[in-house]
Structure 1
Amino acid sequence: MVEQYPQVLTIAGSDSDGSAGMQADLHTFFRRKVYGASVMTACVAGNSYGIHDAVNLPSSFINSEFKALADDYQIRASKTGMLSDSELIMTVVENYTKYDFGPLVVDPVITTKHGNVLLEESAYQTLRDELIPLATVITPNFFEAQKLAEMTITTEDDTKLAAQKLQQLGAKNIVLKGRHDNAVQSEVSDYVLLESGEGFFLNDKFHQTDRVNGTGDSLSACIAAEIAKGTSVKEAINIAKTFVNEAIEAEINVGHKFGPINHWAPKE
């Protein structure tokens, strides 16, 4: 009986303000009715104004976290968040391939939704060459998709080609998120390419708000949660899209500047 409840793992950094990273993942797991375990890779000191300090945890401790979970829990799906350097990425890759922690959802945190680069080139190459090939689902934002596919995306045909190139990197299913940086846009269009070859766009209303911290974390966490419950990848992606859109639409007033999405708003 101890292993009957679906258990999901987030491999990510801890954000002290609770809006993103591991905290956003755990909020999402709770709302999707799965048990959330965690491998903490870094600690971030931040608030709604920005990040003020950060430190990576030692690889030896991360190894211990993985082993402790593998010795006791039956993880049915996992997801990664921001992994800031090559050593950290390789530590995660080595442990994920060592233990059976279910299908992996990779949120390839390379750039912000506005195009600002977060990873040094060496870490980017390690992410591209070592982690992405392990992904059952990958969820790049628009700018990350351009970098990974090594092309400019301007049309729907470009979007479809970029998703195909991401599959060629080894990821099985692609969720290529649409742009979120146009002040006058009314719709967000994400493109999904499944392992079967089926491709389709998911369109939803664009909400003009600065309460969007943790959007990408929550999307990938929701996909992982649904996979852990036995939901198909296609349906998991659809559920996650709706979950995040509803969480953005119903603003929650926390912090003074850039705030979190509202994980309590989406319907069950």
Structure 2
Amino acid sequence: MKGIISIQSHVVFGHAGNSSAVFPLQRMGMEVWPIHTVQFSNHTQYKQGWKGRAFSADDINQLVAGIDNIGKLSDCQAILSGYQGSAEQCQAIIHTVNSVKQQNPAAIYVCDPVMGDPEKGCILADGITEQLINDVMPIADVIVPNQFELTQFTGMEINNLEQAKLACEKALTLGPKIVLVKHLHSIADDTFTMMLATADGMYISQRPQLEFNRQPVGVGDLISALFTGGLLQDMSAVTAFEHATNACYGVLKETHKRQEWELQTIAAQAELVQPTEVFHAKVV
């Protein structure tokens, strides 16, 4: 049984982190081995707050060691990481990636480098951003940053498409082989823009921007999972990029139709496999 180790946050209620990533991957036919960096009652943007705690880096290492003990690290096809609860957890991610690749050199590491954004209610512990930039993102095969995170990684300002292309070009010289920018907010106001950069070229995907009273949380986690699943199903990077765009839009449409804040991933599960709307990637 081959699978994906997904090391992310987990919420009991709603869909963020592993709670946004695991089911879509399973619905695409993947086995997922989730490891939680934190376990919260709900995501952190609720005005009432949340309950729960972060796990230690040793908790992550112990769980990975347990998988190794039963001889299954060699069956790990990918490591997917998202929100980290401490700088020490970043080191546990690095240890996990190294351990898996020793057992299976063909495994890929997909890093969603979640960085602090106080305006969105996402606050990180000290040292995490620096660890992501200096130690974690450079060892990733694939990174899935938003515009802010790409700027942090490359040190380059992004205000337009040309600057985004230059930043992606630089990111590809820093270690990753594929860059998927999960949201380029400076490109257009009326459309949601994503960018893909590989050694073969650069592409953008644009789909309608749905208006929500409160923006759903966990969209980036969903995009990262869908893209990872596509790559493991032998889709080309461009096809996986298009699938992630289209499937995510299908989930968001259902969420919008129901006027919900939490992603309606279960209700829209057919979209994860066969999206009803198709937005093609364009070469830029």
**TM-score scaled by structure 1?**
0.86
| Offset, 1:257 | 7.2
Q: Secondary structure at the match of 1:216?
A: helix
Matched, 1:38 2:42: no
| Offset, 1:204 | 1.0
| Structure 1 segments unaligned to the other structure (5+ residues) | none
Task: Output the amino acid matched with 2:242.
Answer: N
Please say if residues 11 and 38 of structure 1, whose CA atoms lie closer than 8 Å, have aligned partners that are also in contact: yes
Please say if residues 192 and 200 of structure 1, whose CA atoms lie closer than 8 Å, have aligned partners that are also in contact: yes
1:250 to 249, 254, 257: 254
Matched, 1:66 2:69: no
- Equivalent residues, number: 261
2:168 to 163, 170, 174: 163
Please say if residues 182 and 220 of structure 2, whose CA atoms lie closer than 8 Å, have aligned partners that are also in contact: no
**RMSD of equivalent CA atoms:** 2.7
* Residue matched to 2:132: 127
Please say if residues 11 and 81 of structure 1, whose CA atoms lie closer than 8 Å, have aligned partners that are also in contact: yes
Task: Output the amino acid matched with 1:52.
Answer: W
Q: Secondary structure at the match of 2:261?
A: coil
* Residue matched to 2:147: 142
Partner Cα distance (2:177, 2:57) in 1 = 28
| Offset, 1:122 | 2.2
Q: Secondary structure at the match of 1:63?
A: helix
Task: Output the amino acid matched with 1:95.
Answer: T
Please say if residues 87 and 125 of structure 2, whose CA atoms lie closer than 8 Å, have aligned partners that are also in contact: no
| Offset, 1:234 | 2.7
| Structure 2 segments unaligned to the other structure (5+ residues) | 275-284
Using the aligned pairs only, state the percent identity. Answer: 18
Please say if residues 193 and 199 of structure 1, whose CA atoms lie closer than 8 Å, have aligned partners that are also in contact: yes
Task: Output the amino acid matched with 2:241.
Answer: I
Partner Cα distance (1:94, 1:132) in 2 = 13
**Greater relative contact order, per chain length (Cα 8 Å cut-off, separation 6+):** 1
Q: Secondary structure at the match of 1:190?
A: strand
Partner Cα distance (1:253, 1:162) in 2 = 36
* Residue matched to 2:227: 223
Partner Cα distance (1:214, 1:35) in 2 = 20
1:208 to 201, 204, 211: 211
1:152 to 153, 157, 160: 157
